[in-house]
Copies of this chain bind each other. A is one copy, B any other.
Amino acid sequence: MKAATGTAPFLAALRGERPSRRPVWIMRQAGRYLPEYQELRRSATFEELCTTPELACEATLQPLRRFDLDAAILFSDILVPLAPMGAPFVIEEGGPKTPHPIRTDADVQNLRVVDPREEIPFVADAVRLLKRELGDTPLIGFAGAPFTLAAYLVEGGGSRDFLHLKRMLFRRPDLLERLLDLLADQVADHLKMQVEAGADAVQLFDTWGGILSPADHERFILPRHRRIFDALAGLGVPKILFTKGGGPFLPALATAGADALGLDWLTPIPDALKRTGALPVQGNLDPHALFAPKKELARRVAEICREGDAAPGHVFNLGHGIFPTAPIEAVETVVETVHAHVPGGVS
């Protein structure tokens, strides 16, 4: 067993250093675009992959066998911590669903913050297994941000309009805040458990943080980010905050206590740097660009690497999760082009 060393390019970039090569990983790199993942799914359900350490470990490692990636990310799901809280989700065709959406005082009252080490030990077990396998490749732990989890809980699943969630925000802001505080505590402990088990970095995913006005984002979302990152402050691992549609809030997000900001493809890196100052950034290729011809894809990847040269640290990634239909060869092109990048080199 080797521990991930402090010289890993991924961790160095998140510390604001200039590693030997530009690190790259891909959001949802363990997943449906990989034939070997589809094969794995023929023998086990999505839930079984999440809750069985050996299977989660296998799914996590698959993309690393195929591509020269600079980090692994634990195979899991942002909804995993919700079941022991009292809100189990079922994964159906068309997305996760819960039979009991959280909408009333009593619903929120019935949720409890639990010790994930006791209730969902399989998550930490998977991390420990992975650390034995990964050698000096860093492992990223992760969680969904409280607002994104609240969106699933209040809507009872995915949503287009977020009518229930935003109705709660406008009619019962106190109730939504109570729910978000509970979730923040649970998320903080969920990430802490992963770090204790060996995760070398964590990422907080706020998939739906972009649907609020900046003032509402500041009131409802930002304090919970801070609460989570504060709880992790002493652990010594870098913390990445990724908000899809976070462009309008970047200056605020930069104050949340994260060590790096993940960017979607709507915010060019130079803009982000202008508005956030000294934080390393991660991103930000349009995930659809993986359908481009190789030459055009490589051109866009190289351009983002050049933009990243101006950042205190830059981890290459997509601006959102990879599509299940993305071609394997495109991922190869991305990884090769990122690693071929020479800072300050001629394009």
Contact = CB atoms under 8 A, between A and B. Distances in A.
A223 interface: no
24 contacts: A160-B160, A161-B323, A162-B288, A163-B288, A163-B323, A166-B286, A166-B291, A167-B291, A170-B288, A170-B291, A170-B292, A170-B293, A170-B297, A171-B291, A171-B293, A210-B266, A213-B265, A213-B266, A213-B268, A214-B268, A214-B271, A216-B286, A247-B247, A248-B271
Interface residues on chain A, size class: 20 to 34
A265 B245 CA distance: 13
Contacts of A163: 288, 323, 325
A222 interface: no
A269 to B, nearest CB: 11
Contacts of A170: 288-289, 291-293, 296-297
A171 B265 CA distance: 18
Given A213-B268, A214-B266, A169 B288 contact: yes
Given A167-B291, A247-B248, A248-B267, 14 more contacts: A160-B160, A163-B288, A166-B288, A166-B291, A170-B288, A170-B293, A171-B291, A171-B292, A171-B293, A214-B266, A214-B268, A215-B268, A248-B266, A248-B271
Interface string A286-314: 10110111001100000000000000000
A233 to B, nearest CB: 30
A175 to B, nearest CB: 13
A182 B169 CA distance: 43
A323 B161 CA distance: 9
